[in-house]
Structures are given as structure tokens and as C-alpha cells.
Amino acid sequence: IPFQASMIDRAEELVDRKLRSDVRAIDGVREAVAAVTAPRCVCSNSRLERIEFMLEKVGLLPFFAGRIFSALEIPSKKTKPAPDVFLIAAEQLNADPANTFVIEDSVHGVTGARAAGMRVIGFTGAAHSYPGHADVLTEAGAETVIRRWAELKSVIAALSEWSDA
């Protein structure tokens, strides 16, 4: 049964309303993001306005301003699991995909980042995580999985050291 455009618009409106009331920063995320000294960005399948709103609401927008990539706004409009949004972000940031770490909480995101030739750390510390989530992300290609943002810096250091060996 095809969806009517008005039904899709209504669903998007309901999601936005729910996000406005419910989005909260995950413990330790600000500190973890601030500790990353390399260029950083956000790659998402969401609309740019939604991404910016959520980042602003949780106090992270200043860390990513001007470096937010929506798969819906790139020329191909291919969403994850296609690698396109990751590759465009890497190009814009002049980053080598092979030396890029992606933190992902979805199978589509892990798959897309791996297809872009990037290294992936799975994240299971969000409210939408579920039993077995870490295994699913690992099976999709994440090198390792973290549950707390406080783990990020040491995991990146360990993975970097391991790949240099």
C-alpha cells in the first residue's frame, strides 16, 4: 500500500515533536567529543534540520557546526548502508577514509562506513540499544564496541596503536 505524502509528513512531524521533548545527551558524550583532536563530523540519514536541532538541544552543535552531512542532501541522495555520505564527508574534510574512525550505533551505519573503507567503533550506550546489539554491530563490521563514551579515547588510542604495529 503506497503511503500518501501527507501521511509521511505527519509521521515526520510526530517524530520531531517526540525528539523535541525526549532527546537528552548521553552521559560523557560532550567530554568524549571534546577530547577528539582530529577533525570530526556527523553523517546521518536524517534531515539536516533534525540533525542540527538534536545537536543543539544536547549542546553538541558547536563541535560539528559546518561539518554535518545528511545523506538526504548529498548529490546521490543514497542513504546508509551506501557509503556515499561517509565518502563525501571524508572528501570535504580532506580525510583519508582508511585513517578515519566512525562511531556508529546502527547496522546500516557500520555497513556504510566499512564500505567507505573506514574503521568503525560500534556504540551501544543509547536508549535504543538492545540485548545483542553489540554482537549485531560486530557482525556488521565494527572492530570493537563501546557502551560508555568514557571508553572512546582509550579505544581509539588502542586501535591506532594496534594498526601501526
pLDDT in tens, 11-52: 777 776 777 777 899 999 999 999 999 999 999 999 999 999
Model confidence at 1, pLDDT cuts 50, 70, 90, reads low
Model confidence at 2, pLDDT cuts 50, 70, 90, reads low
Round to whole Å and give the CA distance between 123 and 126: 8
pLDDT tens for each residue of 68-113: 999 999 999 999 999 999 999 999 999 999 999 999 999 999 999 9
SS (H, E, C) the chain: CCCCHHHHHHHHHHHHHHHHHHCCCCCCHHHHHHHCCCCCCEEECCCHHHHHHHHHHCCCHHHHCCCEEEHHHCCCCCCCCCCHHHHHHHHHCCCCHHHCEEEECCHHHHHHHHHCCCEEEEECCCCCCCCCHHHHHHHHCCCEEECCHHHHHHHHHHHHHHHHC
Q: Which candidate, 54, 84, 90, 56, places its Cα nearest to that of 72?
A: 84
Round to whole Å and give the CA distance between 43 and 110: 12
- The residues spanned by each domain of the chain are 26-164
- CATH superfamily entry for domain 26-164: HAD superfamily/HAD-like (3.40.50.1000)
pLDDT tens for each residue of 116-145: 999 999 999 998 999 999 999 999 999 999
Per-residue pLDDT at 94: 97
pTM summary value: 0.89
92-101 b/e (C-beta count within 10 Å ≥ 16 → b): eeebebeebb
Q: Are 53 and 17 in contact (CB under 8 A)?
A: no
Round to whole Å and give the CA distance between 30 and 50: 19
| C-alpha cell read off for 52 | 542540527
Amino acid (1-letter code) at residue 155: V
- In terms of DSSP bridges, do strands 101-104 and 68-70 run parallel, antiparallel, or are they unpaired? unpaired
Per-residue pLDDT at 109: 99
